[in-house]
Amino acid sequence: MNRQEFKIFPIGKVRRDESGIRLEIGGEFKDGLLELEKFSHVIVLWWAHGHDNEEDRKIMETALPYAENTRAGVFACRAEYRPNPIAVTVCPISDIDQNKGIINIKGIDAIDYSPILDLKPYIPVCDRVDDFTIPKWFTGWPTCLPEKGLQLEYD
């Protein structure tokens, strides 16, 4: 396969501390937050930097931690290790301070200091489907994002 390189750079970072979880957006990108506060959710594309190494980029299948005795390809799960460690999470917005470039969110499955690549507003007509099929290992999972957002064990 012909490999073409793309130039990307972080627009901010995920921060987690005792005050909560927030997205800190860099100064030159703060104006891009204009009107985002009118949305209830934001789609965060982030870089799984803990898996940005040659070895993890070669992993093409994995045992699923949430589905006993099940293996899947990285394109059939949301594992952090993949050819390009790009991750995506829909996050409930608590509030936004555009002047400071801060988006307080209720949860994200990214670790502290994960680089943010892009933000997009969650728009149901574009981002939701009513008729979908999922594998049986997702049986029993909620059909939509919990109000508190995605929570990690250390949240």
pLDDT, tens digit, 9 for 90 and up, residues 19-38: 999 999 999 999 999 999 99
* pTM of the full structure: 0.90
Confidence of residue 149 (pLDDT cuts 50, 70, 90): low
Confidence of residue 154 (pLDDT cuts 50, 70, 90): very low
Residue where the block lists tokens 């988006």? 103
Q: What is the pLDDT of residues 78-120, one digit of tens each?
A: 899 999 999 999 999 999 999 999 999 999 999 999 999 999 9
All domains of the chain in start order, with CATH = 12-122+131-138 (2.40.30.70)
Strands (E), 2-125: 12-17, 20-25, 41-47, 61-63, 71-73, 86-97, 102-105, 115-121
